Amino acid sequence: MSAALETLDRMNTALAQSQNGQLTQSEMIRLWRTLAPSLALPARFDEVLHPLLDRIEASVLFSEESCSFSQKDLLASLQMWADKARLRLSSPSAAQT
């Protein structure tokens, strides 16, 4: 397994731990912000990830779901980002970028 995929696995583990209450969302966000640059994904991935992490960070301020910040939907979007990143990192063309 490539180092990037191992890093992505660490990020996914942190996301799951956050969803299960084993890791605070703030700690999960900090880990994702620290590790994401090492994935060496195309710029469009950063353009999606950083605003998403910002919204998740803002959602922490709300104790319940609000019409502006659904934590469940935001975390599902983060999982979707991770799934697309995995596909990109696993594709044969990823080694050429």
Q: SS3 breakdown of the chain: % helix, strand, coil, rounded to 5?
A: 75, 0, 25
pLDDT of residue 71: 82
Q: pTM of the predicted model, to two decimals?
A: 0.85
Q: What is the pLDDT of residues 19-64, one digit of tens each?
A: 999 999 999 999 999 999 999 999 999 999 999 999 998 877 765 5
- Give residues with Cβ within 8 angstroms of 15, minimum separation 6: 28, 32, 75, 78, 79, 82
